[in-house]
Amino acid sequence: MQQASEFGIEDARRVLGDVFAPWVQDLNLSIEQFDIAAPAVGDADWQPGAILRMPFSERLCRNGGIVCGQALMAFADTAMVLANLAANKGYRPMTTVDQTTHFMRAVTASDVLADARVVRLGRTMSFGRVTLSSATDNKPVAMVSSAFAMLPG
């Protein structure tokens, strides 16, 4: 059995490829950054999490070439699962309890980045936030807050 402290970005990438439903895998998400431990130079605002990328695809667009909200919400939910892996320092079964999405502007013809952070991790619940941004101009597209139940496993 692998020690929890050894869980890293390659393990997270394996979970991304093995655990999620095929249609989520079809989004072709990639993990760009996986933050399991605070930086050596103390940052009081540091939170465990991950940064993921969803590549642009016409298949994710509605009329007018706008990336649809459903794809953005699924992306944010998936990114938050990865952030929970970082906070838990390993895989733990979980399920989404609540997700609130505030769309701020449309995103067209651009990859989307998700910066997912665990704000509070408890024994049975996790609370987090995701900022979705256009990779073209790095401007926010949506803000998402979520709660997850940690399941026995």
Give the count of domains, the chain.
Answer: 1
Domain-located, residue 51: yes
Domain-located, residue 40: no
Domain-located, residue 54: yes
CA dihedral of 59, 60, 65, 66, whole degrees rounded to 10? 170
Check: CB of residue 143 under 8 Å from CB of residue 102.
Answer: yes
Q: Which domain holds residue 31?
A: 4-35+47-150
Helix (H, G, I), strand (E, B) or coil at 28: coil
Confidence check: pLDDT of 2 > 60: no
Two structure tokens written together for 14: 């394996």
Domain-located, residue 96: yes
Two structure tokens written together for 145: 């807050």
Mean pLDDT of 35-52: 88
Band (15; pLDDT cuts 50, 70, 90): very high
For 23-68, give the DSSP string. HHHTT--EEEEEE-S--SS--TT---EEEEEE---GGGEEGGGEEP
pLDDT for the residue numbered 4: 44
Domain-located, residue 68: yes
pLDDT digits (tens, 9 = 90+) for 90-132: 999 999 999 999 999 999 999 999 999 999 999 999 999 999 9
Confidence check: pLDDT of 35 > 80: yes
CB atoms closer than 10 angstroms to residue 21: 9
CATH number at residue 103: 3.10.129.10
Domain-located, residue 101: yes
Domain-located, residue 42: no
d(CA 106, CA 98): 23
Helix (H, G, I), strand (E, B) or coil at 13: helix
Domain-located, residue 80: yes
pLDDT for the residue numbered 41: 79
Average pLDDT over the chain reads: 94
